[in-house]
Structure 1
Amino acid sequence: MHKIHFISIGGSVMHNLAIELHLKGFIVTGSDDEIYEPSSSRLAQYDLLPPVTGWFPEKITTDLEAVILGMHARQDNPELAKAKELGIKVYSYPEYIFEQSQNKQRVVIAGSHGKTTITSMVLHVLKYNKRNFNYLVGAQIEGFDNMVKLSENAPLIVIEGDEYFTSPIDPTPKFIHYQPHIALISGIAWDHFNVFPTWESYVKQFELLADSLPKAGAIIFDETDDMLDVIGQKERPDVASTPYTVHPHRIEDNKTILITAEQGEVPVLVFGSHNMKNISGAREVCERLGVTDEQFYNAIRTFKGASKRLELLGTNDTVNVYRDFAHAPSKVEATTNALKEQFPDRTLVACAELHTFSSLNKGFLSQYRRKLKAADVAIVYFNPLTLEHKRLESLSEDDIKTAFKRDDLKVFTNSAELEAFLRSLTWKDANLLLMSSGTFGDIDLKKLAADILA
């Protein structure tokens, strides 16, 4: 009987991996010092939620086959110390995923932006065409119960691979551990300022990934990204190199239609030039996996997007309200531009929350220069308490306006005032875009959308 213990079971991939192993018949236990929603409810549903938070070395026993160590545990974790003392095998989750898929064809989707969407597109197409495959993806996707699938008989695994370090005891980027046969890199835009203090150190991670491909492997990359083009075009003996760019398309009546060589015009539900690149990248991956163009385009018509990626919170005849996970500068720009291109005749009210360590760092803020340019009304919200919590230097309204290079930028540090401002606007022939990896100070976004649309 396989018995596995998770240190830091509440993480987004960690809890999904725990559920998947439980469903495979493994005995799964876990600990964490804090577990948030939706992890806590989903773990509880399978009786995997630790009854008490905290670390309990007595949970580490010699009958464990392995311990899986999450990102949020610290190096001095008492359960980790006990596992080492007893000589129990400790994996990070990327190492464990590799362990479970050594005999499969491995595809890794990497890049600073777009990786969740491209992975979701590939999974959607494979599922639509009834292919047998395993996967690991960083968001909940419609039609998939879990973010991780590991079965013995699938010949293929598609993995969303991030460049962030693997675990508290392993600074290697996660995607290196997967040892892919096919790697897609969607674009490089500096992020994770706290881990990669320089642009060079950040780019290096992607070069390591490209250089790690085996003979007969393949790299698929966005050729419009200058840095990536250099990495992608580098000579690697016996590795196929496939560039991609924006898929030919046109916009008609606020709808996007793909223009294809063999399949004619194909209407799609996603929009924005970043998504047209994502479709091109997904198509190249699918082609390598033996999916025909006809199969690809038939499937992609019904792809609705990954959760919290340009997610429609509500709509009426003249107004749409969108929620997007965008927080890094390149994502804020791509999402804002996408909405303006799709609805050129509507006023665009775009609101970004600065919430992450990078986005609130004075040294990094200038990366947001002109990133909200496409918005008619541009708003930035941040909570000064977050700065204190992250021990960062305080920011003034002028600091933010200077960084974004926009004098008419509206800056809010109080969520109630932000909400009141949004409610005071005249909502007709206008779209609202709310961008954050946080919660805008716990504003009820669904209710706000319903009230604006009423």
Structure 2
Amino acid sequence: MHIHILGICGTFMGGVAALAREAGHRVTGCDAGVYPPMSDQLRALGIELIEGYGADQMALQPDVFVIGNVVSRARLADGSPKFPLMEAILDAGADYTSGPQWLAEQVLQGRHVLAVAGTHGKTTTTSMLAWILERADRAPGFLVGGVPLDFGVSARLGSGSQKLFVIEADEYDTAFFDKRSKFVHYRPRTAVLNNLEFDHADIFDDLASIERQFHHLVRTVPSSGRVVVNATEDSMQRVLARGCWSELSRFGVGGEWQARGSHDVFDVLRQGRVAGRVEWGLSGLHNQMNALAAIAAAEHVGVAPAEAAAALGSFRNVRRRMELRGTVERVAGKLTVYDDFAHHPTAIRTTLEGLRKKLDGSGHERDRILAAFEPRSNTMKLGTMAAQLPWSLEQADLAFCHSGGLDWDAAAALAPMGVRASVADAIDPLVAKIVAAARPGDHIVCMSNGGFGGVHEKLLSALGKTGAAE
């Protein structure tokens, strides 16, 4: 089968492309504004990428067009379609489907699906769970919204006899013609509900509407299945109050699964008894909670908690999750540049708090944190959470915002931070501001859910050439 994917470089659609290619299908695709790591992965798989959404791609004559949710019926200022290929598909009556629907029909049927849902931590927890199952010789299939460092790819079919498939279960809508959340297509037997707060302001009116979608997911879990849920989240309790027909397994304070110890070395407790021990290089309470969720989910398919906890000791996280991009050595100390996917205010705060605790615990409490970020997600572009930015950046000594393309005043939103915050409407001026402020010992965290204009390499290059104040 030849499938042509519209929006192929999104993390989810890129994973679908990789699975289809592994299954022996011919895969081509198109997108705009291509950026790593997905573009690199697709090219390595021999998948042809076409820039843009031109109607001339109809000449490829695929068996089916798989439509990503980036595609819409939107029109440009001159009245022409933003996605002319989609208009051509509709006019021709060609066969098309959504990515989640294709995945459900072609990959997930007949498998034990372990789905990880939540506003934050989906990618990391999905990767943890896949790694636990891999180390336990279960050879799972998986689709992750990122590239786990332990696997080097975002998706694979898997070969284990249990036919396990771990998937990052996103609540965002499926496609312009299917407004259900992606995760309702997956029909999991094991579902992780990690956390839940308001996000995706472009498609959800309020938190209650997102909770409704999460309950749609709960409804699809069979009675022999397991729902692994965060016991500390009021929103999750409201979801479950609507009805749950499966085994419940709660983690966090008040739950069956808890942690005792520091965030980087802790015992895993099940009903108050030590069931395993995690010793790893990750930081932050959020990662400790992610670990508990992954261990509880793995136990549902037969992996002992002690074995799962030991496996996490070798877990190397995911690309763009506090990924070290480089250091610049100076006589008075080094400057360190990280890349992180954080874009929601809570995620930004969690990322910076995790780094601050790690620095404080390793004797570097005087090192400064410089936070560079761009409000690029649809929710952040709308300015819905602009007022939360000063709160999210409290652990940053200095903050630098890329405001290009925003319809709201980033400088006004960051005004409560005073001189600690700077704004630039283009990447090069932003880099210049950071370089001028940086000094030895600083940790520069670049946060975005996009390519951020290559800011990491530009910073490393500029710092290497000009240095920082000694």
- Unpaired runs of 5+ residues, structure 1, are none
- The answer to whether residue 84 in structure 2 is matched with residue 68 in structure 1 is no
| 2:22 and 2:156 in contact (8 A); partners too | no
Structure 2 counterparts to residues 321-340 of structure 1, below 5 A? 321-340=337-356
Structure 2 counterparts to residues 233-382 of structure 1, below 5 A? 235-237=243-245, 239-245=246-252, 248-251=259-262, 256-260=264-268, 262=274, 266-314=278-326, 320-344=336-360, 345-356=365-376, 357-375=378-396, 377-382=397-402
| 1:256 and 1:267 in contact (8 A); partners too | yes
Match of 1:220 among 225, 228, 232: 228
Amino acid in the other structure paired with 1:142: L
Per the alignment, residue 90 of structure 1 pairs with 96
Per the alignment, residue 76 of structure 2 pairs with none
Deviates more, 1:71-80 or 1:205-214: 71-80
| 1:346 and 1:431 in contact (8 A); partners too | no
Task: Report the Cα offset of residue 23 of structure 1.
Answer: 3.2
What secondary structure does 2:380 align onto?
coil
- The answer to whether residue 201 in structure 2 is matched with residue 190 in structure 1 is no
- The answer to whether residue 156 in structure 2 is matched with residue 149 in structure 1 is yes
What secondary structure does 1:119 align onto?
helix
Task: Report the Cα offset of residue 152 of structure 1.
Answer: 7.4
Per the alignment, residue 138 of structure 2 pairs with 131
Amino acid in the other structure paired with 1:68: V
What secondary structure does 1:370 align onto?
helix
Amino acid in the other structure paired with 1:295: E
Q: Assess, with a 3 A threshold, how the Cα gap between structure 1 residues 51 and 352 changes in structure 2: closer, same or farther.
A: closer
Q: Assess, with a 3 A threshold, how the Cα gap between structure 1 residues 417 and 137 changes in structure 2: closer, same or farther.
A: same
Q: How far apart, CA to CA, are the structure 1 residues paired with 2:469 and 2:454?
A: 20
Task: Report the Cα offset of residue 320 of structure 1.
Answer: 4.6
Q: How far apart, CA to CA, are the structure 2 residues paired with 1:446 and 1:231?
A: 45
- Unpaired runs of 5+ residues, structure 2, are 74-80
Q: How far apart, CA to CA, are the structure 2 residues paired with 1:51 and 1:354?
A: 27
Q: Assess, with a 3 A threshold, how the Cα gap between structure 1 residues 439 and 446 changes in structure 2: closer, same or farther.
A: farther
Q: How far apart, CA to CA, are the structure 2 residues paired with 1:453 and 1:219?
A: 53
Q: How far apart, CA to CA, are the structure 2 residues paired with 1:29 and 1:339?
A: 40
- The answer to whether residue 71 in structure 2 is matched with residue 55 in structure 1 is no
Deviates more, 1:161-170 or 1:16-25: 16-25
| 2:5 and 2:28 in contact (8 A); partners too | yes
| 2:400 and 2:434 in contact (8 A); partners too | no
| 2:140 and 2:159 in contact (8 A); partners too | no
Q: Assess, with a 3 A threshold, how the Cα gap between structure 1 residues 68 and 398 changes in structure 2: closer, same or farther.
A: closer
Amino acid in the other structure paired with 2:341: F
Per the alignment, residue 214 of structure 2 pairs with 206
Task: Report the Cα offset of residue 140 of structure 1.
Answer: 1.0
What secondary structure does 2:391 align onto?
coil
Task: Report the Cα offset of residue 108 of structure 1.
Answer: 0.8
Per the alignment, residue 239 of structure 2 pairs with 231
Structure 2 counterparts to residues 11-22 of structure 1, below 5 A? 11-22=10-21
Deviates more, 1:77-86 or 1:94-103: 77-86
Per the alignment, residue 412 of structure 1 pairs with 423
| 2:150 and 2:317 in contact (8 A); partners too | no
Q: How far apart, CA to CA, are the structure 2 residues paired with 1:83 and 1:396?
A: 39
Q: How far apart, CA to CA, are the structure 2 residues paired with 1:71 and 1:47?
A: 24
Q: Determine what percentage of the aligned residue pairs are the same residue.
A: 24
Q: How far apart, CA to CA, are the structure 1 residues paired with 2:120 and 2:40?
A: 28
Give deviations 1:96-134, integer Å, cap 9, x for gaps: 111121101111101110000000101111112221221
Amino acid in the other structure paired with 2:66: I
What secondary structure does 1:219 align onto?
strand
Structure 2 counterparts to residues 385-400 of structure 1, below 5 A? 386-387=405-406, 392-393=407-408, 395=409, 397-400=411-414
Q: How far apart, CA to CA, are the structure 1 residues paired with 2:72 and 2:176?
A: 6
Give deviations 1:377-400, integer Å, cap 9, x for gaps: 13131233x12xxxx24x152332
Give deviations 1:50-103, integer Å, cap 9, x for gaps: 467423364364xx5433112222347565566567765432111111112110
| 1:56 and 1:78 in contact (8 A); partners too | no
Amino acid in the other structure paired with 1:203: E
Task: Report the Cα offset of residue 361 of structure 1.
Answer: 3.2
Deviates more, 1:175-184 or 1:16-25: 16-25
What secondary structure does 2:350 align onto?
helix
Q: Assess, with a 3 A threshold, how the Cα gap between structure 1 residues 172 and 276 changes in structure 2: closer, same or farther.
A: same
| 1:19 and 1:46 in contact (8 A); partners too | yes
| 2:15 and 2:145 in contact (8 A); partners too | no
Give deviations 1:183-229, integer Å, cap 9, x for gaps: 11111122222222323323322222223322222211212222123
**Aligned-residue CA RMSD in angstroms?**
3.1
Task: Report the Cα offset of residue 40 of structure 1.
Answer: 4.4
Task: Report the Cα offset of residue 272 of structure 1.
Answer: 0.6
